Every structure is written in structure tokens, then in C-alpha cells.
Amino acid sequence: MAVAGGLELADEEVPVARILAQIVADAERRRPAHGSTPVAARFRFSELRGRLLKDRVFEDPGRLLGRLKRRGLLEELPEGRTDRVYRVPFPDALRGLLAQELAREESREPEPLQPVPDEHVEIRRMDDDFLAYLREVLTERLEATIEFGRELTIGRLASYLQGLFGETLYLDSLIAILQQYALADVPLIAPTGRTTGATGFHLALFGPPGTGKTFSIDDMIRGNERTGVPAHGLPGRNRYCGGITPAQFLRVGVAYTGRTFNFIVPEFNDWFKYRGMVEPLKLVMEQREVKWETTLGTVGPYTFRSFFSVNYNVRTAGASDYWTTIADPNFAALEDRMLLRFHPMTRERFRAVESSAERLELGALDFGEAQPLRDHLVLTHAVATRHPLVARRFLPRAVRLDRALYGDLREVSEAALAKTATPRFSPRLKSRAVKLAAAAALLRSFANDAPGDVVIGPSEREFARRFYEEEIRAREGGHVGYS
């Protein structure tokens, strides 16, 4: 049988096609023969899925199998009730087509380094946006902003977001807003007086599509005029990266040397599908010197001091276990370097997202705190980063770490360790909880006029403790209990 036309494989389908060709060859070798009429080669879907997982290929083969069925190269048999069975009527033609497509993909020349827009122009535009907003706060709403700051606490912010989105969803938006405060990278001061870190952190929300991830890190932060959601994040400090390739990003990053911005990436897992991208992206997330060398040119070296807030979409197939959703080997890069929030699509979450979307469309969400909160965020950031417009009027304040915080978090980890001999959570998770507590403490930057560092108080400790508990529970599959 001659096959006309190619399959036009997507990049992520190439390893699926390679393994499928092996499966077909194996099926053809083991098919029995009855007299002079051989039985058509066949294979089970579970066999293909098992081989894919063994070779650490996590792309869904359904799209490729569907195209092959439509072209008559595969037939799905009705006998496969719990495990689909495929018959291969023309194995030579199928293997030939797959080999042809794989050869084409392997011989394809890499795309040259395409020119990107002048990022320095984009940075100047963002700086202008921030400056214009800061001037507006200083000239029109300074006293009101300071007064708002005297009453602002992590509890008040949480209550505002709970009123908007409910108990199930609010924490994601809360953490996204706290990351905006943390972008100032305020020093963390140990009880000994030494600086042992800073507030800034990367944020990753992962789970299946439709769980509210993009709304939390993008709509709430940059605003969405089409749906009537006002911006709650920093103006001119969030660089949206939808549609940008990782190669373009690595080139763009040079322009941000010595600056701190937040990069919003709605499909971060796509970045890891590009050949040779994993290692340079790890360096970027670690804020180390980046140098990317290809046969077509060299980017860098430069040091990246900005942060990410990203979505990492995974297929859970209804599973609630944290570890069944992160089989992608590249996921370890996020686990080690980012604050992660797990979003399984549970029945409870589905109803919460549905209810929130309904209330938004009906105009029932009251975003009354958006402007005063954003004003406070901008003023806090300007003071902490010593912006020239406020440098002589306000003194920047560091955040002082508290031993009591570490004691509270140790109680949580010990409670989890008492339930399991093989913990699935990393000690790094505790450091993320500490950064969250410090970012929450920045909400009280204008709580009083007393000089000195901002101290992490009981409400921030309790917030960090809750986050730590929830994330440990997610990583342990919900089987760890706490008193």
C-alpha cells in the first residue's frame, strides 16, 4: 500500500512516533500464522502507554493514533473494552511512513536566532508606566495610601480575596499578590544581624487546564479589561511572555541585566520541549550567569535577577496524588527552584471555579480594594527599591526573621515525618514558607512610624504554617494528618 502525504508531526509527537514504530515492528514479529493466511499484527494501547512511560515520554498518543485511524493505517477493534486493541492492516506502509517522518524531523535544520523587538524600548515603556503610577500616588493619594497601609495585614488581604473567590481558590491569588510585594527583593535579616537572603521568589502553579491558574498569576496581576478584572499587581514590572519562545526569552534576558522584573509565562512546560533549553533555563531560575551557545551564535554571558510566575499544565486524569502528575523529568527544575502550588481538578475545585466565573460574568465580584491595594504595593516597592522620587521621604526597611517562625514550621514537618518513614517533600519547601511569611510582613511596612526592620508577627507565622501544611499534604497524597 502506498501512502501519500506526510503526518506533519508536532515536536512533542516525534518520540511517540518513534516508539509506535517499534511497537508495530514487535507486533508484526510476534503475530501467529494460520495456514497460508497470516493474522494482522495488533497491539494494545496499554502496551504503547507502558513503553512511553518507560522511555519517559509523557505526550498523549491519542492525536497521532487518531490521524492514523482516519488514514486507514490503524483499526480500533471492538474487543477492547477496558484496554483498546489496534489492528495494523498495512504494517510495512505504517512503518515506512513513520520512518519517513522521523527522518525528516531529525534532518530538519534548527531555526536561526530570529531578531526580537528592541527590548530596551519595552523596558523604557514599563519604567514609564511605573513612574506615572507612582507620581499619581504621591500627588493624589499619598495620605490615603499610608492610612490604608496602617490597617493592612495578611488577614485583611486574605478576607478580601476570600470574599471574591471563596475558601478553595483565594490562596492562589493571595500568593501571587505576595510575590508582587516580594519582587522588591527586600533583605532578610537573621537574629544575629546577618543578611541571609531576600524576599523574592519564583511562583509556579501546576495542574490540568481550567483550574484557575492563569487567572491568579495574570488576570489578577495585570488586570483584564474584557472581563472587568482590575489590576492588583505592580504597573510596569510584569513582563508578559505569552507566545515568546525560550530561545527568544534567553536573548531578551540580556536587556534585564541588573534589573528586577517579573516574567509571566502562561505555558511554561512548552519551554522545556525545545532542544537544549533545560540547562540554560535552570541557570535563569537560579539567577546565575547565563551563557547559551549554539552553532548559530552565542547569547550572553549575563546575570538574570528577575523572577517568574508561571503555569505548568499537566494531565492528571482525575488523580489527586501529587507525584502521579509530575512524571516529567524536567519538572524537577521547578520543584527545586520555585514555590509550587498543586491544582488537581477535584469536584470541589470545579464547583469553585464555576461559581467564581459565574459571579464574575454576572458582575457580582466587588474589587473595591484593588486600587488602594495597588497604591500600597507601588509605594512599598518604590521605598524598598530606593526609587528617586521617595528616597528622601521614606527609609527602606528589611524584614527580620524570627526563631518562632522556624519553630512553628518545624512542628509541621515533624508531624508529617511522624506519619511516614520516607517523606516526599523537600526541605526547600520550608524555605519557601519562610519567604512567604516575609512577603506577608511587607504588608505592614507602613503600620507604624517606628524605624527599624519589619518583624514577622503571629499572623504571618500562622499563614506560613498553613501554606507549609497544605503543600506537605499535597506532596504526601493527602495522607498526612495534623493536629
Core vs surface per residue 268-300: b (16+ CB within 10 A) or e: bbbbbeeeebbebbbbbbebeebebeeeeeebb
CA distances from 217 to 151, 234, 395, 413 (A): 25, 12, 30, 28
Number of independent structural domains in the chain: 2
> Is 477 exposed, middle or buried (CB count within 10 Å of its CB: 0-12, 13-18, 19+)?
middle
Q: Is residue 450 part of a domain?
A: no
Predicted confidence (pLDDT) at residue 36 exceeds the cutoff of 70: no
Last residue of a domain, one of 63, 86, 107: 107
| Residue-level pLDDT at 6 | 59
Q: Is residue 227 part of a domain?
A: yes
Condensed to tens digits (0 to 9), the pLDDT of residues 39-60 reads 778 888 888 888 877 766 767 8
Predicted confidence (pLDDT) at residue 35 exceeds the cutoff of 90: no
* Pair (228, 315) in one structural domain: yes
User: How sure is the predictor about 318, in pLDDT bands with cuts at 50, 70 and 90?
Assistant: very low
CATH code where residue 246 lies: 3.40.50
Condensed to tens digits (0 to 9), the pLDDT of residues 390-430 reads 998 999 999 999 899 999 999 999 998 988 888 878 788 89
Condensed to tens digits (0 to 9), the pLDDT of residues 354-368 reads 999 999 999 999 999
* Pair (182, 98) in one structural domain: no
| Residue-level pLDDT at 47 | 87
Cis bond upstream, residue 427 (ω within 30): no
* Pair (36, 96) in one structural domain: yes
From the list 476, 435, 170, 204, the residue with the least C-alpha distance to 342 is 204
| Residue-level pLDDT at 149 | 94
Rounded distance between C-alpha atoms, residue 121 and residue 125, angstroms: 6
Instruction: Using CA atoms of 130, 134, 135, 139 in order, give the dihedral in degrees to the nearest 10.
Output: 160
* Pair (263, 296) in one structural domain: yes
Query: What pTM was estimated for this model as a whole?
Result: 0.74
* Pair (236, 380) in one structural domain: yes
> Is 226 exposed, middle or buried (CB count within 10 Å of its CB: 0-12, 13-18, 19+)?
exposed
Q: Is residue 404 part of a domain?
A: no
CA distances from 166 to 11, 44, 174, 336 (A): 40, 44, 12, 30
Q: Which range has the worst mean pLDDT, 121-125, 154-158, 318-322? A: 318-322
| Residue-level pLDDT at 200 | 93
From the list 358, 396, 364, the residue with the least C-alpha distance to 380 is 396
Which residue range is the domain that position 250 belongs to? 119-187+195-392
Condensed to tens digits (0 to 9), the pLDDT of residues 330-351 reads 666 677 788 888 777 778 888 9
